[in-house]
Structure 1
Amino acid sequence: MTKVFASPAEFAAAAGTHVGVSDWITVEQDRIDLFADATGDYQWIHVDPERAAAGPFGATIAHGYLTLSLIPVLTQGVYRVEGVRMAINYGLNKARFMNPVCVGSKVRASVDIVSAEEVAGGGHQVVNRVTIEIEGVDKPACVAEIVGRIYG
């Protein structure tokens, strides 16, 4: 269920809390191949199913940056902030790829609001910790601190 915040200020006031968990999505080979096309990263562990089957993971794996790039699609179902006229990515404090995402795996995002502070222009800079979990696997695929700015 999507958590709805009535305003950027209400969202910022929730710093230090767990917001929620997304639905699962399946990482298919088509998505991995499209990411390889977009980035030019055609390493065999991502795009050669035959060779990857005999490799260290037993299948192709998603690029780490593909896993990171799934955060917007995963988190859109976790929360929504009303009254936002503009939201921008401001960067990352930290991102770690702790476990590979094998083709066909299901992943989801768990979101915590780490901090929020007011910035010039009537906005808030917010740091969210997003943990990308793999269904049936204890160790997460990725933990990232995402920095964004929201303006009401």
Structure 2
Amino acid sequence: MSNLLDPGAEPEGAVVYRGVPALKAAVGDKLGPTAWFVVDQRRIDSFADDTEDHQWIHVDPQRAADGPFGATIAHGFLTLSLVPYFINQLRRVEGVAMGVNYGLDRVRFPAPLTAGTRIRATSEMTSVEDVGPGVVQVITRTTIEAEGSPKPVCVADLVARYHVGIDG
């Protein structure tokens, strides 16, 4: 989501949309790529602890070295959890009272993300529509690429709702 809770923390290079009309006019615009971000083994291990998913392909570098990917890989949901981080680097929305993650429409993990790999993202607002009084729904397709991989490691359609005119 955008930096609605801390408007002073504008990411460097983020596109600023001022109000719903600006969002609607931006449908189809492609943003990015973001800065590179390294997904290291420490982050993967921490995510495994947080989610109780300690499968060896994620947390056992010695065994994973002989496995199908040649190294440990990040959990798909770890990669997915970085989508809001990347969207914050790409855009900021002003003139709304609040934004919330509403859900996901489509998520795919076309390629594995091996530990220690740099990733970055691009995004495109594919839809902006009014869904209720003072509420607009924005669907953003975010593609996360890994350095050196011909396929993305994640493609996700994030559904967010922005509320206009709510005291917050």
Into which bin does the TM-score normalised by the smaller protein fall?
over 0.9
Task: Please list the CA deviations of residues 32-52 of structure 1 after superposition, one character each: whole Å capped at 9, or x if unmatched.
Answer: 011101111000000001111
Alignment partner, residue 153 of structure 2: 141
Alignment partner, residue 70 of structure 2: 58
Alignment partner, residue 7 of structure 2: none
Q: Describe the SS at the equivalent of 1:77.
A: helix
Question: Which of 80, 93, 96 is the equivalent residue of 1:84?
Answer: 96
Gaps of 5+ in 1: none
Equivalenced residue count is: 152
Q: Which amino acid aligns with 1:23?
A: A
Provide the C-alpha distance between the structure 2 equivalents of 1:127 and 1:43, rounded to a whole number of angstroms. 32
In the alignment, is residue 72 of structure 1 matched against residue 90 of structure 2?
no
Q: Describe the SS at the equivalent of 1:117.
A: strand
Question: Which of 110, 114, 123 is the equivalent residue of 2:122?
Answer: 110
Instruction: State the 1:72 CA deviation.
Output: 1.3
In the alignment, is residue 2 of structure 1 matched against residue 14 of structure 2?
yes
Instruction: State the 1:19 CA deviation.
Output: 2.5
TM-score (norm 1): 0.95
Provide the C-alpha distance between the structure 2 equivalents of 1:55 and 1:38, rounded to a whole number of angstroms. 24
Provide the C-alpha distance between the structure 1 equivalents of 2:63 and 2:25, rounded to a whole number of angstroms. 50
Provide the C-alpha distance between the structure 1 equivalents of 2:157 and 2:91, rounded to a whole number of angstroms. 16
Preserved contact between residue 111 and residue 131 of structure 1 (Cα < 8 Å)? yes
Alignment partner, residue 93 of structure 1: 105
Q: Describe the SS at the equivalent of 1:33.
A: helix
Instruction: State the 1:60 CA deviation.
Output: 0.5
Instruction: State the 1:142 CA deviation.
Output: 0.9
Q: Which amino acid aligns with 1:4?
A: V
Task: Please list the CA deviations of residues 63-101 of structure 1 after superposition, one character each: whole Å capped at 9, or x if unmatched.
Answer: 000000011112211111112211111111110010000
Instruction: State the 1:121 CA deviation.
Output: 3.1
Gaps of 5+ in 2: 1-12
Structure 1 segments, 4+ long, off by >6 Å, are none
Q: Describe the SS at the equivalent of 1:23.
A: coil
Preserved contact between residue 12 and residue 124 of structure 1 (Cα < 8 Å)? no
Q: 1:137 to 1:65 in 2, by over 3 A?
A: same
